[in-house]
Amino acid sequence: MRSSVNKMYRTLTLGALTACVVAMLAACSGNDELEMAADSGEQQIYLEAQRYLENDSFDLAIRTLQMLESRYPFGRYAEQAQLELVFAHYGGREFEAAIEAANRFIRLHPQHPNVDYAYYMKGLAAYDIDGGFLASLVPTDDTKRDVGHMKEALAEFAQLLARFPDSPYAPDARLRMVHLRNMLARHEIHVANYYFRRGAYMAALNRGRYVVENLEQTPSVADGLAIMAQAYLLLGLDDLAIDTIEVLKANYPNHPNLDDNGEYTSVYTLQGLQRSWINKVSLGLFDPPEPPQFNYRPKPN
């Protein structure tokens, strides 16, 4: 038994040493490639960087592009290397570094024929900056997280369209802006639902009104109107609630808070708090009314 254990221990130790040697050789190989590139001319270094980019070896690409710029700051590939450094950082999920590299390129080369690409990449990086590696593996609802990065991305894409409306990246930027506006509107609905649960009806009203007035043409406008109607009812502003319900009925007749007769249905309607018979019989001890919540997502036509 002891000899078997000793044999297994020696095998594991040998395996561990082998793994370490392989890792060291791989690291040395990467360093050797960079050293070889450093001893090469400008064009050869640039071609090495292109090879790394094509193979998605973004870390080596970044180091090679940085080396190219430092050795040949005024060379024929310097500007292109700075621009491709933006993509390399983005590909390596270094989103803040990608934004910094894009800003640097814009500052140094504001009239460059491809400067619109830098603006476009700023928008992409800003959108992905809070995603992280796990977000790419585990599905999450981004509208329930902090949306500061979405607002920043929206602003970056808007700047691209304002400066370069005919850019080849403009069509994709427009589509992404539509998506971002939809997500920002849905975020406001989530926040309004939270305020309803907290009993902060005026705050919920303001969130619904913001969607209706500032994020028009998004699917969440329907819920924005329903939220406004519900908040008005809870605040005792029945006239405003009736007007809002009419707007909801005219524009979104299939909203789940409208019955077949177009009457507003919820936990609190024009007739007051709607309680189940169990709640009434138990004098409010059982089956209490739930706070109103809204999550209607109309299907596109």
pLDDT value at residue 27: 46
Measured between alpha carbons, how far is 239 from 223 in angstroms, rounded to an integer? 19
269-293 pLDDT tens trace: 888 778 777 766 666 667 777 899 9
**Other Cβ atoms within 10 Å of 169 Cβ, number:** 19
pTM of the predicted model, to two decimals?
Answer: 0.78
128-179 pLDDT tens trace: 886 544 344 444 556 666 789 999 999 999 999 999 999 999 999 999 999 9
- CA distance readout (Å), 237 to 70, 76, 132, 189: 67, 69, 45, 21
The answer to whether the beta carbons of residues 121 and 87 sit under 8 Å apart is yes
Measured between alpha carbons, how far is 166 from 162 in angstroms, rounded to an integer? 10
More confident residue, 84 or 143: 84
Q: How many residues does the chain have?
A: 301
Tokens read off for 182: 């939809």
13-49 pLDDT tens trace: 444 334 333 344 444 445 555 554 444 689 999 999 9
The answer to whether the beta carbons of residues 204 and 197 sit under 8 Å apart is no
pLDDT at 101 over 90: yes
**How high is the mean pLDDT of the chain?**
85
- CA distance readout (Å), 55 to 36, 69, 88: 18, 21, 11
